[in-house]
A and B are shown apart, each in its own frame.
Chain A
Amino acid sequence: MSGAVLVPAGAAGGAPRWLRSLGLALGLLIVGLVAFAAVFGPSLVPHDPFAQDLGNRLAVPVWMEGGSWTHPLGTDQLGRDYLARLVYGARISMVIGLATVIASGLIGTTLGVLGGFFGGRVDDAVLFVITCRLSIPVVLVALAVVGLMGSSFTLVILVLGLLLWDRFAVVARSTTMQVRNLDYVAAAWCAGASRAAILWREVLPNIATHLAVVATLEMALAILLEAALSFLGLGVPPPLPSWGLMIAEAKDYMFFSPWVIMIPGIALFVLVFGINLLGDGLRDMLGTQDAR
């Protein structure tokens, strides 16, 4: 049908094995650190991310002149501890990323597997739904929905989950098509297995690795999109310290104290970079060069 839409780019890099595993290790390290910060950070940092201290606004980080260890990353425009907000923000990013991937993964995988397994009319319908979804401008629709229904944490997850399933569907569909024609599926048919059993026991486990690679890509995308929505004021509502929202709130001060947007921005970049590294490493390791 629409070949151009359904063939996103790429093949694996030609890097030697040790370098690839270095990327994977670095990705694991970054994601692990952020996950640790997300789970334990808020209880390890002595400050409350919501406590304002108007007498101590925009205190500079410790490495700049006049900085102190009381607030290692300084404070924001309301005197809230930046480190406390940053680690709390890690929790928001991780939860939104994981929840979105679970929701979109369920939708996309179901559609893709059905289309790829049954083929024919079912597949035509699935392809049509994917084409429709791709023609919808994601950021605009997400902004519009949140703008209409009022910003909330759950709504952001719901909207992103309902929008970001396309790549899951595309990959699940094409990999299911390949698996469907393999010998062990034929063997299962001959052994008298039901359709459901074949889907559940033969197809799904064999496309799972491809889906895991997609999951990393979509998680990275969801985290970036949440930050963009929050930055535009239509994502996670204040005073929650989403990294995108922190950048938006700090924007007015960025020309005088650039570190206020550097800190949450670098955190966002590093996390997304780490997740992508993890995905790339995973793909190389599994040899699933067509998964993207």
Chain B
Amino acid sequence: MLTFLLRRLAVAILVAMTVLTLSFMLTRLSGDLAISIAGPNATQEDVALIRAAYGLDRPLVVQYLDWVGRAAVGDFGTSYFFRERVADLIAQRMPITLTLGLVGLGIALLVSIPLGILAAVREGSWVDRGVMLVALVGQAMPSFWLGLLLMILLGLQLGWLPISGTGSWEHYVMPGIVLAFSAIPALMRLTRSGMIEALSSDYIRTARAKGLSRLSILGKHALRNAAIPVVSIAAVQLGFMLGGSIVIETVFALHGVGYLAWESISKNDFPVVQAVVLVLALIYIGLTLLADLLNAALDPRLRAS
């Protein structure tokens, strides 16, 4: 178990280092950063001034080591546009994105687990087919478009929810529903196939033979085994959702990290962009690590490999 843990941790750290390098390279793609920051109307002197002010005149290697050294202690520099420390900007907005992610995941689990179980219990029936159709529809739904549709329906015509903004808990409902849509198909399919596998196993037959009630078989025996992969995939899905929330936050003007990233991209605010990419990647790496450990803890068979 300890070697598994250490190896998994070492891989996570290596991946984090790679992403650190990639996020640095990402913002250097356009060639000369100073020209992009200065804008189209800048003179040669302006560009030179900016280059010196932001330390862009140093060799690339020095800039890279500087970024790695600072990022390692949580210092991502200062935003060009907001004139604030990038770490503070991200810290201010992270709770909003995390709330949205958790709301989305909560809704996704509430929908996909019962439907997945239902489809598995009635495998091959019309219920099952209906559930699989829901998965296909969810997969094909463009999230930003669904967001706009909900705005028209729930916001304007029914007037149940605020159309956009960050003020109250109600502002999280519509974006949460939209975000949940992206995770529902995968979670539902996984619950369904896990339950089908569990229900056809020997221990369920034993439980049936003992005369246990249907509910107890489903809940206590089958679900508990089917839940293992669902729990770990849910953690991974949360990582995907945080990364994908940029579209939804922009649609609903929800001022989280995704919205910050979108603003920074359109304003050429590179320190913020590279920091957000790094932070979201690190969260994802942490969540997958958690998922693997959880998996290993719940399922002893995995530890051996």
Contact = CB atoms under 8 A, between A and B. Distances in A.
Which label, helix, strand, loop or mixed, suits the secondary structure of the B interface? helix
A244 B250 CA distance: 14
Interface stretch (B46-54, B77-85, B213-221, B240-248): B240-248
A139 B243 contact: yes
Contacts of A141: 26, 277
A138 B243 contact: yes
B229 A7 contact: yes
A228 B22 contact: no
Interface string A63-85: 00000000000000000000000
B266 A265 contact: no
A3 interface: yes
A234 B266 CA distance: 9
A144 B142 contact: no
A140 B272 CA distance: 12
Contact of A140 (B8, B151, B188, B280): B280
B142 A224 contact: yes
B11 A232 contact: no
Given A140-B277, A268-B145, A276 B140 contact: yes
A235 B11 CA distance: 34
B136 A148 contact: no
A50 interface: no
B244 A139 contact: yes
A2 B261 contact: no
Nearest to B152: A258
Interface stretch (A9-17, A51-59, A202-210): A9-17
A266 to B, nearest CB: 9
Interface string B189-210: 1101100100000000000000
Which of A138, A144, A145, A244 is packed against the most chain B CB atoms within 10 Å? A144
Given A2-B292, A265-B149, A234 B265 contact: yes
A261 interface: yes
Interface string A243-275: 010010001001100100100010011101100
A4 interface: yes
A2 B262 contact: no
Given A136-B277, A254-B152, A255-B152, A268 B142 contact: yes
A132 B15 contact: yes
A227 B140 CA distance: 12
Contacts of A13: 128-129, 132
Contacts of B117: none
Contacts of B187: 9
Interface in B262-287: 262, 265-266, 268, 273, 276-277, 280-281, 284-285
Interface in B8-60: 8, 11, 14-15, 18-19, 22, 26-27, 29-30, 36
A228 B233 CA distance: 24
A255 to B, nearest CB: 6
Contact of B19 (A1, A136, A138): A136
Contacts of B185: 9
Interface in A169-210: none
Contact of A273 (B136, B144, B233): B136
B300 interface: no
B62 to A, nearest CB: 21
B276 A261 contact: no
A262 to B, nearest CB: 8
Nearest to B137: A273
A148 B36 contact: yes
Given A1-B11, A4-B292, A139-B243, A247 B145 contact: yes
B105 interface: no
A137 B136 contact: no
Contacts of A11: 189, 192-193, 196
B142 A265 contact: yes
A104 to B, nearest CB: 17
Which of A19, A135, A144, A272 is packed against the most chain B CB atoms within 10 Å? A135
A228 B242 CA distance: 16
B124 interface: yes
B145 A2 contact: no
Given A4-B292, A136-B19, A147-B265, 9 more contacts: A1-B8, A9-B186, A14-B128, A132-B15, A140-B258, A148-B27, A148-B265, A247-B144, A247-B145
30 contacts: A2-B288, A3-B295, A4-B291, A5-B236, A5-B288, A10-B189, A15-B124, A135-B19, A135-B281, A136-B277, A137-B243, A140-B246, A140-B276, A143-B261, A143-B262, A144-B261, A147-B265, A148-B26, A148-B30, A224-B140, A231-B247, A232-B250, A234-B265, A234-B266, A247-B144, A247-B145, A254-B152, A261-B149, A265-B149, A272-B140
